[in-house]
Amino acid sequence: MTLKAREQQGAAPANPVFEALPERFEFAREEEIVLQRWRDCDAFQESMRRSRKANLPLYTFYDGPPFATGMPHYGHILAGTIKDVVTRYAHQSGHHVERRFGWDCHGLPIEYAIDKKLGITSKEQHLAMGIPAYNKECRSIVQKYASEWRYVTERYGRWIDMDNDWKTMNPTFMESVWWVFKSMYDKGLVYQGFKVMPYSTACHTPLSNFEKGQNYKEVADPAVVASFPIVNADPNSPLHGASLLAFTTTPWTLPSNLALCVNANMTYSVIRDNASGALWVCGSNTILKEVYGKAKVEAGKEPYSVVATMPGSDLVGLQYEPIFDYFAGSPLAAKAFVVVSDDYVQEESGTGIVHQAPAFGEDDYRVCLDHGIIQRGPGLICPVDESGRFTSNVPDFAGRYVKEADRDIIRALRKRGRIVRDYQKKHDYPHCWRSDTPLIYKAVPSWFVNVPKIRDRLLQCNEQTYWVPAYVKERRFHNWLMDARDWSVSRTRYWGTPLPIWISDDGDEIVVIGSIAELQERSGRAEPITDLHREFVDEITIPSSKGKGVLRRVEDVFDCWFESGSMPYASRHYPFENADEFERGFPADFIAEGLDQTRGWFYTLMVVSVALFDKPPFQNLICNGLVLAEDGKKMSKSLNNYPDPMLVMNTHGADAMRLYLINSPVVRADSLKFSEAGVRDVVKDVFVPWSNTLRLFISQARRRALKDGTTFKANPDVFNRTDNVMDKWILSSLQTLIAGFRKEMNLYELAKVVPHLVGFIDKLSLWYVRFNKLRIKGDAGPEACEASLCTLYHVLLSMARLMAPFTPFLADTMYYYLKPALPQEQQEDTVHFDMVPDVDESSRDESIERAVAAMQLVVETGRTARDQASVSLRIPLPKCIVVTSSRELISYVEPLSDYIVEQLNVQSVEFSDAVSDYISVSLEPDNRRLGKRLGKHRPAVVAALKAMSHSDVVKFRQDGVARIGEFDITIEDVIVQTTFIGDAKQFVSHSAGEVVVIISREPDDACVRLGQARTLVAHVQGLRKQALLTIEDEVRIFADYGAGSATSRFIRDHRDYVESSLKVAIEPMAELSPEAHIVADDRKEVVPGESIRVVIARR
C-alpha cells in the first residue's frame, strides 16, 4: 500500500522511526554537527562522571607535555590520535580513564623565543634587564598558542581535559620537582662536577647527552692537518727536525691546544715530503688518505718517502712548539705542549695524532687530566665565553664567534707554514634542539644525576615494560640505557624551576630543600613563599649550621627534561597531596610519544622513577615514527611542503586523517610520507561505502514504514533465529572481528586492528549487501526483509561501537541515525557512552566463514575470467564450471551455488574435481629463489620439476614441499602454471590457488534479452538518481518503443523482472498526460539500432 493510499483509507500515520539521511554526506560538515552535540551534552566530562560514579577500575595515562610556543603539527596530531584511540578504548572497555593535558612551560624553547623577540645575545643583556622582568616576558608567551591547541585538539576529536590541566610553571608542580631532586640527593645520586659537555652558544647553556642526540645534521666543516714542530728530539734521531701532524674538524680549538695524543700501540712513520723536503710524523696507515688526500698512487710516484717507523710509545714525552703562543707562558700551561698516549686514538680516521684542547673535548679533558697537564676544577684554559665568542685571551680573534673564526685561523696558520692540508669535510654534527644552531663542547660546572649508578636497575625495569614495536625497547632504548651517562640536570638560565641547593661561600656546606615548608622553616622567612621562580627565591638565604654565615642558592635552574620526567608526581603535587590516588595509579598503564623520545621523555621518566621507586614508570608504550612531507623531507614551513592540517580536516574530515595516520607504518615507529591523497582515499574507500550501507538500511527501513506501516525495532530474536547463510556469515564474521579487535587492542597493536575493521566494512558493503539487496529491499518477502534488516542494523550498530575509538565523529553520526530503533532506556547521547561489544560465541560459526570465503574465491576468480569474455556483466552467460582438486572446497561451495550464479550472472554452475579433464598443470622454477641455491644442479632440478605429472603436482601443492635429488623444494620456490585444455573459442578461464573457473565466452539469445532488460532497469534507476528522487518519491514511468521491435520482445519476456525491480509498472507513452509533472525524459539505445524513450513523472 502506498503512502497516499494509506492516507486515503484513513490509516494511522506511518512512523518511519529513522531520520532521513542528507542527500550527500559531507563528512567534515557532519563532524562539526557532532562536535556541537558533544558540547551540548558535555560528553567528555559526562563520560568521566559516569565511570567515576560506577567506581570502574582505574586506567592511568600520562600525556607527554608539549610547549605551547607554536601551533600543533602532524606529529602532535599523530601522537594525540594514538593516545585518544587507546584511552577511548580503555574507557569503552570498562575503565575510569583520567585524561589531563599538560604543558611544558619552562626551559630553552621559551627563553629562546624571548631572546629572539628582545634581541638578547649575551648573559650581560639578561642581567641588565633583570631576572624579574625577563621571567615576566617568558611567562607572557608560555600559553601564546593555548587557545589554538585547544581548538585543534577538539577538532580532531581528542577527548582530554584541558581545563584541569597541569603546567610545569605551577608552584605545586615545582615544589614536587624539588621533592624529587632532594630524594635523589638523599640517595647519593646527585653530585656537582666540572665536565666538558654539549653546549648551546645560542642559548648560553650546557645540554645533556640525550639532548645532544636529538638533532644531528650533515654539515661541511673545515678540516685541517696542522704541523707541530718537535723541539726536544735527539739530534741523532729520525725525529730531529720533524713535525707531528694532527687532524681536526674544529680549527677554532687550536688556540687552546695543550697537548697531542697518540696510541702507544699503533705504528707511526717519519716521512719526507718529496715536494718540500719537510719531515712529518703521522700514523703509518693514514699517510695517503689524510696527509695527501689520495686513496692510492701508482708505484714509484709516491709523494713521500718513509724515513723511519716506530711504535707510538716512542713519541710519548716529546715536546713541540705551541701552534699559538697565547698560553705558552701561563702557569696553567706549565706542563703543556707534550705528547701523551691514550687508547681512544684510532687509526681508522685522522692522522693517528689527536690535538688536545681540554676545555672543548670530553676525551681531551680526561686525557689531559690523567697526564697531569690540567688540574680538576674550574681553573682551566677556556678562552670562549657563554655566547661562543673568543675572549680577550685570544686577542687576534677576540669577540669573534668561534665557528666564524675557523677560516681566519686557518689563514693565519697557513701564513706561518703550519697548515699541511685543509679541505671541507662532510659529517654528522649535533645541533641545539631548540635554536637549531651548531653545538660546541665546552667545560662547564654542572649538577649531575649519577645515572650509571642505577644502570643495572634501569635495564631490569625496562625488561618489565611492554613496547609497540618491541624492537624499539629491545634495541634502541636498551642500548641507550646500556650507555647511559651522568645526566646534567642544571642549566645556567633563568626561566625554570630553580635548583633547591643552598651552599656556603666556600662550598663546604650544602643544603638541599625538598618543599616550600622546609625552605620557609630553614630560612626563617616570615612572609609566605607563594612562587618558586628565581625572582622569588634567589634572595632567600639560609643560616649556616656550621658558623659559615649564610648559604645562598646556586644560580642554576633545572633542565626542563627533569621537570617533564617528574610529571607523574608533580602533576598531582605528590607527595604533598593526592598520595592515595597517585599510588593506586602508578605506574601508568599507558604512554605514547614519538621515536625521538627514547632519548628524551621515555628516558627521563625511567631514570626518575627507578631512582625514586625502583620500578618502571609505565607498563605499556606505543612509539610512533616521524611524519615527513610527501617528498620524504622534513616538514618545513619555509619549504611549504605540506598541507595545513586544519585545511585537510576541514576538507576531508578529521576522522579520515586519524584513520589514515593510524593505518600506516608510522604507528610502528617507521616514517610516513604524508599524502593528502591518502586521506582522500580513506573517504572514498572506507567512509563512502560504510555510509552508503547505512543509507541503504535507513532508506529501506523508512520505505517499509511509509509503504505498509511496518515500524522497525531492534529485535535480536529476529537475527538470532535467521537461517539465511549470508546473515549467519556476516554475524559470525562480526564476532570474529570483535574477538580479534579486543585481542589486538589489549596488545596495543593498533596497526593490526585497523586493517581488520576496514576489511570488515568491505565484507559488509561489497559482499553482504550486494548478495542481499533483494532481501533488504523486500523483494524476497516480508520475513526475509525483516531478517536482513535486523541483521544489517545489528552489524551497523556494532561497527559504530567498534569504530568509535578510531573515527569518533563518523561512528557517532552512525549511532545518531541508528539509535531511535533501540529501546528508550538504551539510547545514549553519544556512542562513546556505550561499551565495546563483547564476543557472542553463540553467533560464531567457523564452517560458514570458511564456506563463504571459498565462495568468495570462486566469485572473484570467476569475475576475472568473465572480464576476458568482454561481455557486459548485465548480460548473463550460459555456463560456469568450477574445477578444483579439493573435495572439501566443493563441499563448502556447492550449497552456495545460487550466489555464484547471481554474482557471476550465469545461467548454471557445475563443480568438478576432475582437474585433468579441464586443465594441465606445470611448474616453472622461481629463478630468484632457486638460482644461487641450486648452483650446478639447477638443470637437473628444473627438468625434474617440468617432468612432474598432474597428480605429482597436485600432491606437491598439498604437501607444500617435494624432495628432488638432495634438495627440498617448497611450493614457494616454483611458479605454478595452469593451462585450459578445453575449447578456448567457447570458454574463458582463470585460476587462483587451487581453483579454476571456466565460463562460457558468448551469451545465447535468451541471455542477451535478459541482459537488455537489466540494462533498461539500470538506465531508469540512473534517471531517478539524476532527478534527485528518493525511494520515498512516488512516480509513474512511461516508455515508447516500436511494436514488434527487438526492444518490445525483451520487455515482453522480462516485464515482471523490470517492473518488480523498479517497483512501478511501465506504462505506454500514450497515457502520459500533458499536465504531468515530468522530472526525467530521455532516450536510450538498449538494443543496437533501436531506441527507447523513457519519461518519469511525479504521481
Active site residues: 65, 104, 561, 597, 601, 634, 637
Distance CA 302, CA 415 (A): 26
Alpha helix segments (H runs only) across 54-161: 74-92, 108-118, 123-129, 131-141, 146-155
Measured CA to CA, the distance from residue 1051 to residue 698 in angstroms comes to 31
| 82 three-state secondary structure | helix
Residue 151 identity (one-letter amino acid): Y
Residue 107 Rama label (left phi>0; alpha psi -120 to 50; beta): left
Helical axes 688-708 vs 782-803, angle rounded to 10°: 140
DSSP 251: G
Which residues, in sequence order, are CB contacts of 292 under 8 Å at separation 6+? 303, 304, 421
- Torsion angles phi and psi, residue 162, rounded to 5: -100, 0
Q: How many whole angstroms separate alpha carbon 964 and alpha carbon 423?
A: 61
The CB density around residue 795, as the number of other CB atoms within 10 Å, is: 23
The radius of gyration computed from the CA coordinates of the chain, to the nearest angstrom, equals: 39
Cα 857 vs. chain centroid, distance in angstroms?
34
Q: Nearest 5 degrees, angle CA 252-CA 256-CA 262?
A: 100
Report which secondary-structure segment, H or E, holds 519.
helix 516-523
Q: Residue 990, SS3?
A: strand
E runs forming strands in 595-728: 618-624, 627-628, 672-673
Give the helix ranges, DSSP H, for 973-1067: 1005-1026, 1046-1053, 1055-1062
How far is residue 470's CA from residue 467's CA, in Å, rounded to a whole number? 5
Q: Tell me whether residue 785 is exposed, middle or buried, using C-beta atoms within 10 angstroms of its C-beta: 0 to 12, 13 to 18, 19 or more.
A: buried
- Write the CB contacts of 98 (distance below 8 Å, at least 6 apart in sequence): 48, 58, 60, 61, 161, 585
Q: Give yes or no for a contact between 85 and 49, defined as CB atoms under 8 angstroms apart.
A: no
For helices 808-818 and 688-708, what crossing angle results, to 10°?
10
Q: Report the C-alpha gap between 154 and 36 in whole angstroms.
A: 11
Give Dmax (Cα) for the chain: 129
The torsion angle over the Cα atoms of residues 347, 350, 356 and 357, rounded to 10 degrees, is: -140
DSSP code of 686?
A: I
Coil, strand, or helix at residue 547? Answer: coil
Q: Please state, in angstroms and as integers, the Cα–Cα distance from residue 1097 to each residue in 960, 1029, 1032, 1072, 1077, following that order.
A: 63, 11, 14, 9, 5
Closest among 59, 63, 75 to 746, alpha carbons compared? 59
Q: Which cell goes with 798?
A: 556494532
DSSP-based three-state secondary structure for 716: helix
Crossing angle of helices 146-155/27-41, nearest 10°?
110
Rounded distance between C-alpha atoms, residue 479 and residue 473, angstroms:
9
Specify burial of residue 301 (Cβ count, 10 A radius: 0-12, 13-18, 19+).
exposed
